[in-house]
Amino acid sequence: MSRLTLTKLRKMKQQGEKIAMLTAYDASFAALLETAGVEALLVGDSLGMVVQGQESTLPVTMDDMVYHCRNVVRGSHRAFVLADMPFMSYATPTQAVDNAARLMREGGAQMVKLEGGSLLRKTVEQLTTRGIPVCAHLGLLPQSVHRIGGYRVQGREESSAQQIHEDAVILQQAGADMLILECVPARLGNEITQALEIPVISCGAGPDCDGQVLVLYDLLGISPGKPPSFSRNFLDGADSIPNAIQAYVSAVKKGQFPTLELSY
């Protein structure tokens, strides 16, 4: 059984079929998520908080990401696997190429994800011209949590919304093949999704994006601390973890998650 490809994910966008994505950090959950119908597994640096017990994603290392990505790839056979580049692992284009190559060669990732706007244009160009697929990440940037003053909704003001939109277009032009929008108003999520040819995945960016992603532990209601206001505990009311994940996939596919009440 071959893995899903970027071509398939782009075709899903073109056909209006929603993409179901979840974070995964180990082989057992990777297998379970894939069986439940999750198309894309994000090996997120969120593992720093939900697996390692860190206060933020910043302490996560390249070795951590390679280790967890390798486990997720071992546990899955069909799902598309992408992995976060951790904090300061892509400070320069050369460093980004070297570390992204590690995630693909040693970790088995099919794509790497970078946080940041148009300043990453050259980095994205360097990666994609070398055959490394890139997922951009705009809106709330967890690796910049100290600079932005906490985990806050981005793009509420017209000027910041315009900047996020412009950055999305620039990163697509630079070669990015996917975009994750985190914690932005639903209206902005819709506008950017309509403007781009690449799949746009919502993480608190409203119901109109091409797909949805949640941190797995938030979906199961077991994350430490207060869950994001855009998430939903799918295990509540389900009689098993597999059923909770299937309920998430079904809700995403039918456009029932997120609701407007779970959007900004």
CB 139 within 8 A of CB 167: no
Judge residue 39's burial from the number of C-beta atoms within 10 Å of its C-beta, 0-12 exposed, 13-18 middle, 19 or more buried.
buried
Could you confirm whether 34 is annotated as catalytic? no
Distance of alpha carbon 94 from alpha carbon 163, whole angstroms: 26
The annotation status of 45 as a binding-site residue, yes or no, is: yes
The annotation status of 115 as a binding-site residue, yes or no, is: yes
CB 8 within 8 A of CB 199: no
Distance of alpha carbon 128 from alpha carbon 177, whole angstroms: 9
CB 103 within 8 A of CB 85: yes
The annotation status of 113 as a binding-site residue, yes or no, is: yes
The annotation status of 46 as a binding-site residue, yes or no, is: yes
Half-sphere exposure of 38 (CA within 13 A, CB side): 30
Q: What are phi and psi of 119, to 5 degrees?
A: -65, -20
Distance of alpha carbon 63 from alpha carbon 86, whole angstroms: 10
- Across the chain, the runs of DSSP E, i.e. the strands, are 19-23, 40-43, 80-84, 111-115, 134-139, 178-182, 200-203, 211-214
| DSSP state letters, 76-136 | -SSSEEEEEPPTTSSSSHHHHHHHHHHHHHTT--SEEEEE-SGGGHHHHHHHHHTT--EEE
**Of residues 106, 157, 182, 261, which has the active-site annotation?**
182
Q: Which two tokens stand for residue 205?
A: 């960016």
| Binding site per annotation, positions for Mg(2+) | 45, 84, 115
Catalytic residues: 182
| Binding site per annotation, positions | 45-46, 84, 113, 115
